[in-house]
Amino acid sequence: MVMKKIYFISFVFGVIFMVLSPWIFTRPALIDNFDFSTSGQIGDTIGGITAPIISLIGAVLVYLSFRAQIEANNNQEKALKEEISRNKKERNFEIIMQLLKEEKEDLKSIIYIKNKKEYFGRRSINVFRIDLKKSENYTNQTFFKKMIFNDLKYVVDAISFIKIKIDEFELFENDKIILLSKLESFFETNLKTQISDILDSKTSLNIKKRPKFFASLELSLNIFDLKDSINADSINTVDIKTDDDLIPVEISI
């Protein structure tokens, strides 16, 4: 800002000097050597004196115009980069929100069949974890072929995947906090207690089958204990509700 004022003042004085130079140089001089009023070619004399000044002012103006253009280009480039970054962050936020929505639907679609009855969502997991403790089940190879093992593993793996993507994606800081809060609240509300109980049963009963299934469950319990997990006091959590009170439906087998 200061330099612009200096440039402007210099330009004004230069213009004033050029306008007044014919009058100045045709005045009687105090020193004979600087008296140009008797010059035969006064126009050539004034032109020869003012030409360097005009050229200098022209050079300064060209420099200022180039500098202004470079500054404008830099500002435009910076604004473009900021716009691209903002659009990318907004797009990443929408991607994670869509993944969270799909995760909710995946949980609701988990099915567990027992005695010709279908259980859905969180209720299916509750019934399953109770049955896992029964000796006639955890020692039965057929029991471990039930689809709920694959379905629950898929849901749990998806939570770990979403958590990793939230950490990796370029996001606004507040959006990142919101997404982590939603994901952790979803896990705490719908899965954490059930998974802990299933893992306790696995340990107490020394279950060896389905090692990948139990490994995924163990990972999910630790995923929010990482150093970049959210601070619970930084934002109010937002619950993602699920239909956990669905009534069993009779089916024919």
pLDDT at 145: 84
Chunked in runs of 10, what are the mean pLDDT values of the chain (253 residues)?
67 69 62 56 63 75 84 91 93 94 93 89 90 77 86 93 92 93 92 91 86 89 61 38 38 32
CA distances (Å), 193 to each of 52, 113, 148, 189, in order? 86, 21, 17, 8
Same domain, residue pair 70 and 145? no
Same domain, residue pair 167 and 240? yes
Same domain, residue pair 99 and 61? no
Of 11, 44, 78, which residue is a domain's last? 78
Identify any residues that bridge with 112 across adjacent strands, giving them in sequence order: 119
CB 242 within 8 A of CB 106: no
Same domain, residue pair 112 and 183? yes
Amino acid at position 219, single letter? L
Same domain, residue pair 66 and 111? no
Domain count, the chain: 2
Strands (E), the chain: 111-114, 117-120, 249-250
Closest CA to 9 of 57, 81, 75, 63: 57
Domain boundaries, position 35: 2-78
Closest CA to 160 of 108, 222, 101: 222
pLDDT at 46: 63
Same domain, residue pair 116 and 16? no
pTM, two decimal places:
0.64
Please tell me the number of Cα atoms within 13 Å of 165 on its side-chain side: 19
Of 29, 52, 78, which residue is a domain's last? 78
Please tell me the number of Cα atoms within 13 Å of 120 on its side-chain side: 13
Instruction: Give the Cα separation of 216 and 158 in Å (integer).
Output: 10
3-state secondary structure of 115: coil
